Amino acid sequence: MAKSRPSIRDVARESGVSPTTVSLIINQVDERISSATRSRVLKTIDRLQYKPSRLAQGLPSKSSKTLAIILPDLHMAFADAYFGEIISGIYDHAAEQDYRITLEVARRSFVRSKRYLNILDDCSVDGLLFLGATEEHRWLEECSGSDRPLIIVNNRFPQWDLDSILCDYPMAARLVADHLFAQGHRHIGMVCGPSAKVYTADELTNAFIDRLAEHGVAIRDRLVVDGEFNVGPGQRAAAQLLATEPNLTAIFCGNDKMALGAYQAARAMGRHVGTDLSIVGCDDLPAAATADPPMTTVRLNYYDLGVAACARMLRRLGLAKSNGNAQKTADAAKAAGPSDGEAKAPSVAVPAKAPRHVLPPAGRIPVRLVERQSVVSLNV
């Protein structure tokens, strides 16, 4: 008869102290515990292999220390490098702060059962991070304006009041516009993402047009064609562009997939990318580096986006909790500061005390231009 997991009372009894004392030690609120007692208790914890129950720990605070990642119901959403990178970033940062990650898929049953509300209400989860949200996700409206812990990752909905975090698309557009202009290009087209549907796609398009205008280069309407963020449509968009405007020297594509499509279109029409036609992508997927010729593109750091999204959520949750005890926390930090040279608790996980993360101020993840060989210089 294997006895079941030890409880905090077992540890207390074996150490000759009260459960309160053990709890204080575990939670590092140990200004009041003598180091003799502390080390005795820690030894017992180690000996009994005691691990505090997450369920019981969460019960008083009503917190499961878990964040949900919501993915759209695309076939094989997991099998996408874009989501993959963001998830990695979220996971890593969450793990560092002793949070766990659960997965949700925004499919019909998810919406019908209002699971996005229920998992918060039933304490399954402390916060929601929504990846790949579009305005077709009408249920977001229900969360608009409320203070539910929800963050939209890499999109924004002007019509709803929701917290979002985005890559710096305007900067991406400016980098590309400046680069193409500096290389001497004056006849430039663009294959854009789904216009009037994805906020960031429009942001990129508008910033690109505006920046070129600042350089005195005008982009007329018919030089911007929708490529729907995908290879096939991107190819058709680029083909149309090259057919109607044969004197185009460069095309900026709103993402790498469409740029790959543009490569195909160019090849089919006898143009040589990197020689007599310049193409710039946006994303820097692995495929961009292995394309022929290697693609000049903008690196959007999706891993960092995930980290930042998670950090922001954790900060929100931290603030929500410390309504009345902000002062106390400050005091505790001050008090714990000098006497900090103590041994750390061994087998019991102790989270880093304060997040201390430097967040990008306006919530924009920085981008940078990656110059490879798909852009020709027309200078001299």
Candidate ranges 56-64, 67-75, 110-118, 304-312; the one touching DNA (CB under 7 A)? 56-64
Binder among 349, 354, 362, 380 for a copy of itself (CB under 8 A): 349
Q: Does 55 bind a copy of itself (CB under 8 A)?
A: yes
Q: Does 146 bind a copy of itself (CB under 8 A)?
A: no
Residue 24 binds which entry of DNA, a copy of itself, none, CB below 5-8 Å type-dependent: DNA
Angle at 314 between CA 308 and CA 317, to 5 degrees: 145
Binder among 44, 45, 52, 67 for DNA (CB under 7 A): 52
The answer to whether 89 touches 307, Cβ cutoff 8 Å, is: yes
**Region of residue 44 (left: phi > 0; alpha: psi -120 to 50; beta: else):** alpha
Reduced to 3 states (helix: H, G, I; strand: E, B; else coil), residue 11 is helix
Query: Please, what is the minimum distance in Å from the beta carbon of residue 19 to DNA?
Result: 5
DSSP string spanning 142-166?
HHTTS---EEEES---TTS--EEEE
Residue 360 binds which entry of a copy of itself, DNA, none, CB below 5-8 Å type-dependent: none
The answer to whether 206 touches 232, Cβ cutoff 8 Å, is: no
| Number of neighbours of residue 310 by Cβ within 10 angstroms | 30
Residue 20 binds which entry of DNA, a copy of itself, none, CB below 5-8 Å type-dependent: DNA
Reduced to 3 states (helix: H, G, I; strand: E, B; else coil), residue 33 is coil
Binder among 9, 43, 47, 51 for a copy of itself (CB under 8 A): 51
Binder among 57, 88, 124, 195 for DNA (CB under 7 A): 57
Residue 17 binds which entry of a copy of itself, DNA, none, CB below 5-8 Å type-dependent: DNA
Distance CA 24, CA 20 (A): 6
Q: Which of residues 3-42 bind DNA (CB under 7 A)?
A: 4-5, 7-9, 16-21, 23-24, 26-27, 29, 32-34, 36-37
Binder among 9, 20, 29, 103 for a copy of itself (CB under 8 A): 103
The answer to whether 368 touches 300, Cβ cutoff 8 Å, is: no
Binder among 3, 49, 62, 76 for DNA (CB under 7 A): 62
Q: What is the enclosing helix (H) or strand (E) of 298?
A: strand 297-300
Q: Does 49 bind DNA (CB under 7 A)?
A: no
Residues 244-259 as b or e (16 or more Cβ within 10 Å = b): eeeebbbbbbbbbbbb
Q: Does 272 bind a copy of itself (CB under 8 A)?
A: no
DSSP string spanning 173-184?
HHHHHHHHHHTT
Our CB check for DNA shows the closer of 113 and 144 to be 113
Q: Which two tokens stand for residue 377?
A: 């210089």
Residues that bind DNA (CB under 7 A): 4-5, 7-9, 16-21, 23-24, 26-27, 29, 32-34, 36-37, 50-53, 55-57, 59-62
Residues of this chain that interact with a copy of itself (CB under 8 A) are 4-5, 49, 51-56, 58-59, 62, 64, 66, 76-85, 87-88, 91, 95, 100-103, 105, 109, 113, 118, 121-124, 349
